[in-house]
Amino acid sequence: MKQEMVDRIKNDPDFLQLTRVRSKFAWTLTIVMLVIYFGFVLVIAFDPSLLGTPLSEGSVTTVGIPVGVGVIISAFILTGIYVRRANGEFDELTAKIKAKAKGE
Amino acid sequence: MKTLLLVLLTSFAAFAGEALTGEVEKQALNMSAIIMFLIFVGATLGITYWAAKRTKTAKDFYTAGGGITGFQNGMAIAGDYMSAASFLGISALVYAKGYDGLIYSIGFLVGWPIILFMVAEQLRNLGKYTFADVASYRLRQTPIRTLAAVGSILTVVLYLIAQMVGAGKLIQLLFGLDYEIAVVLVGVLMILYVTFGGMLATTWVQIIKAFLLLSGATFMAIAVMAHYNFNFETLFATAVQMKETTSIMAPGGLVSDPVSAISLGIALMFGTAGLPHILMRFFTVSDAKEARKSVFYATGFIGYFYILTFIIGFGAIVMVFQNPQYLDLAKQAVDGGAPILGGDNMAAIHLSHAVGGDFFLGFISAVAFATILAVVSGLTLAGASAISHDLYASVIRKGKADGMMEMKVSKVSTVILGIVAIYLGIAFEDQNIAFMVGLAFAIAASANFPILFLSMYWSKLTTRGALFGGSLGLLTAAVLVVLGPTVWVDVLKNAEAIFPYKYPALFSVSAAFIGIWFFSITDRSENSEKEKEAYEAQFIRSQTGIGAEGAVEH
């Protein structure tokens, strides 16, 4: 990439918008995932009996089962949320930036 | 198709009933397994032949031409990641310990969202064939490529040994073949797939395997649940009754202290994001959009699979545990308890027999074999690429290698890696190899991932920082694993471990990041200034894909 193109793109407001919004979005989701997972792990480390509590009076199923499956499903949902926004909004912005970089 | 499914679904109920009470019949030669396995081998060799005709350039060889769709790649990633070890091992862990198996499998899943949010599309936008392309994008080629290649090859070889030993034992048990013959068979098939069919054949072997494994596991889980009217409470209650303990419904001893818990979590999370054979898969799609979709589908398939293995593990508790048909009487006479034939790792295999009879046992055995083949092929391809693309083309020929020659080196490397894998697979037959996958993840998390991640996000990264910090992470991981309980006590038979924790990642990953940071900011060389300046252009390309390698239409 030529330096003048670098300078042009880096000052393009669309590019600034893209990188700012996306990086905030990606970091937020990363932190959500880290909190969910390490929260789960820390409960196991510090208070494992919490997950061993029966779901309701007299049931064998413990709180840990829906929580564990919930962690798996949350991973899938978080990727879905990211892909939906990135393949729509972010890719439209990227296309605009690319068009300007090539066109002008 | 629907009627077939219906027939299958209705017949299993009859099968399952009989299997639980029927006569003990041990088969020496599992014909249905062998026939289904031969069909799989025939089909995959056919695909390899088809793929070989389409693999003409180095780009075809490494990335299948870059035209794989997001859905296909997601399926192939799942096929690459769901190893026989995770299918049999996690269901065995659930079978033995219950809830702990779920904790373990969750660790293997949560790395995927991180890969998506942080590295997937950037990787696609910056790289060509290997993750070292990205790590060394603006740094000095020779040192960074060498380090990345060493990290890749170590990860691949450790992982390969674990797979080969597992393959040999499994096939010995399932098909009655000799261990050596089984290992050689796996090695030879994998060499054929990769040398002739390259990434295209490897991808399709992985897709087919993922489909077979997911179908087989789905069938098993449904069969188990059907027995309990799809009521989990009844399933769990029966399992608790069989095991005579409620401990299987709560976290047990898998992670005992906070340091181990966090360390294991870091190894699994960041290790996944540093596995060369996984990272390589992102170069097979055309652009960032498809790369993202790949992770979305892969996360779905893998997560679904782990939920299935949890049900399968509990299914094995209720249908296999204490079932006289699967009891290892000889072992029971010596050790007592209720050991099953072939050990806990056979829990899922026995369950397949319990729910679907000999035919389904054969199917699952063949799927387990297919799984091994798909995983070792992906590993070997990644290892061979590190040798040919990073070491040969970039370090030795300084980027001036001819594409055809590079591809030849890659094929030769595949053959050599295959032979090494066969040799080590046989050499490690009776060794305790439990630490190897852990070590592979530790190295991937401590050397590969920090360099890759900081090369994308930290403008002040320099060659010196990446080289010293990355090496520090790699060495710390290796040394701490050796001094820790898994090697120092379990393998070397010392009384007490010098390093008390099983999982070193918390320490080795920190060492790598701190090392990279320190040796980068203290780097005053002229070259380091240029490297920092080059970040801007790299950042633009990583964010927008301008200048990235495009796809080739087939």
Give A100 to chain B, closest Cα distance, Å: 11
Which pTM value belongs to this model? 0.90
Residue B120 DSSP class: I
Of B3-17, B133-147, B244-258, B338-352, the poorest mean pLDDT is in B3-17
- Evaluate whether residue B398 is within a structural domain: yes
Query: For residues B347 and B320, what is the distance between their CA atoms, to the nearest angstrom?
Result: 7
Say what percent of chain B tops pLDDT 90: 59
Query: For residues B379 and B425, what is the distance between their CA atoms, to the nearest angstrom?
Result: 14
pLDDT at residue B20 greater than cutoff 50:
no
pLDDT of residue B474: 95
Largest interatomic CA distance in chain A: 71
* Chain B residues near residue A79 by CB distance under 8 angstroms: 112-113, 116, 295-296, 299-300
B27 confidence band (pLDDT: 50, 70, 90):
very low
Interface test with A, best of B90, B104, B114 (most A CBs within 10 A): B114
Say what percent of chain B tops pLDDT 70: 93
Comparing alpha-carbon positions, the chain B residue that sits nearest to A28 is: B117
**Cβ of residue A79 closer than 8 Å to a chain B Cβ:** yes
* Chain A residues near residue B311 by CB distance under 8 angstroms: none
* Mean pLDDT of all residues in B21-48: 72
Comparing alpha-carbon positions, the chain B residue that sits nearest to A50 is: B250
Comparing alpha-carbon positions, the chain A residue that sits nearest to B241 is: A60
- Evaluate whether residue B87 is within a structural domain: yes
* Chain A residues near residue B269 by CB distance under 8 angstroms: 37
pLDDT of residue A4: 82
Closest CA to B417 of B359, B376, B365: B376
pLDDT at residue A31 greater than cutoff 60:
yes
Comparing alpha-carbon positions, the chain B residue that sits nearest to A14 is: B544
What range does the domain containing B511 cover?
5-544
| Gyration radius of chain A over CA positions | 22
DSSP string, B357-390: HHHHHHHHHHHHHHHHHHHHHHHHHHHHHIIIII
CB B232 to CB A87 under 8 A?
A: no
- Evaluate whether residue B93 is within a structural domain: yes
Of B13-17, B25-29, B453-457, the poorest mean pLDDT is in B13-17
* Mean pLDDT of all residues in B212-224: 96
Buried b (16+ CB within 10 A) or exposed e, B189-207: bbbbbbbbbbbbbbbbbbb
Question: From the list B121, B264, B306, which residue is nearest A72 (CB)?
Answer: B306
CA A35, chain centre distance (Å): 12
Query: For residues B435 and B101, what is the distance between their CA atoms, to the nearest angstrom?
Result: 17
Query: For residues B313 and B351, what is the distance between their CA atoms, to the nearest angstrom?
Result: 9
CB A9 to CB B246 under 8 A?
A: no
CB B299 to CB A75 under 8 A?
A: yes
- Evaluate whether residue B435 is within a structural domain: yes
**φ/ψ bin of B251: left (φ > 0), alpha (ψ from -120 to 50), beta (otherwise):** beta
* Chain mean pLDDT for chain B: 87
**Cβ of residue B295 closer than 8 Å to a chain A Cβ:** yes
How large is the angle between the packed helices B70-81 and B347-385, nearest 10 degrees? 110
**Cβ of residue A67 closer than 8 Å to a chain B Cβ:** no
Burial of B391 (0-12, 13-18, 19+ CB in 10 A): buried
Query: For residues B472 and B390, what is the distance between their CA atoms, to the nearest angstrom?
Result: 21
Question: From the list B118, B250, B300, which residue is nearest A62 (CB)?
Answer: B250
pLDDT of residue A1: 66
Query: For residues B484 and B464, what is the distance between their CA atoms, to the nearest angstrom?
Result: 29
Query: ipTM, 2 decimals?
Result: 0.95
> What residues are paired with A62 via a beta bridge?
A54
CB A86 to CB B250 under 8 A?
A: no
* Chain A residues near residue B233 by CB distance under 8 angstroms: 59-61
Question: From the list B251, B536, B543, which residue is nearest A64 (CB)?
Answer: B251
pLDDT of residue A7: 86
CB A60 to CB B240 under 8 A?
A: yes
B16 confidence band (pLDDT: 50, 70, 90):
very low
Query: For residues B76 and B280, what is the distance between their CA atoms, to the nearest angstrom?
Result: 12
pLDDT of residue B29: 63
Question: Residue B26, CB half-sphere, CA atoms under 13 Å: how many?
Answer: 12
Residue B65 DSSP class: G
* Mean pLDDT of all residues in A7-16: 89
* Mean pLDDT of all residues in B222-226: 96
Structure token pair of residue B115: 């890969």
- Evaluate whether residue B549 is within a structural domain: no
Closest CA to B58 of B119, B144, B130, B146: B130
Structure token pair of residue B188: 């030879």
Comparing alpha-carbon positions, the chain B residue that sits nearest to A24 is: B117
- Evaluate whether residue B552 is within a structural domain: no
Give A104 to chain B, closest Cα distance, Å: 15
* Mean pLDDT of all residues in B31-60: 89
Beta carbons of B169 and B433 less than 8 angstroms apart:
no
Structure token pair of residue B491: 């393998």
Comparing alpha-carbon positions, the chain B residue that sits nearest to A35 is: B110
Closest CA to B312 of B87, B81, B80, B108: B87
Query: How many structural domains compose chain B?
Result: 1
Beta carbons of B504 and B442 less than 8 angstroms apart:
yes
pLDDT at residue B21 greater than cutoff 50:
no
SS3 for B339? Answer: coil
Beta carbons of B531 and B137 less than 8 angstroms apart:
no
| CATH number of the domain that residue B49 is part of | 1.20.1730.10
Question: Residue B289, CB half-sphere, CA atoms under 13 Å: how many?
Answer: 15
- Evaluate whether residue B471 is within a structural domain: yes
> What residues are paired with B285 via a beta bridge?
B68
- Evaluate whether residue B498 is within a structural domain: yes
Query: For residues B522 and B534, what is the distance between their CA atoms, to the nearest angstrom?
Result: 18
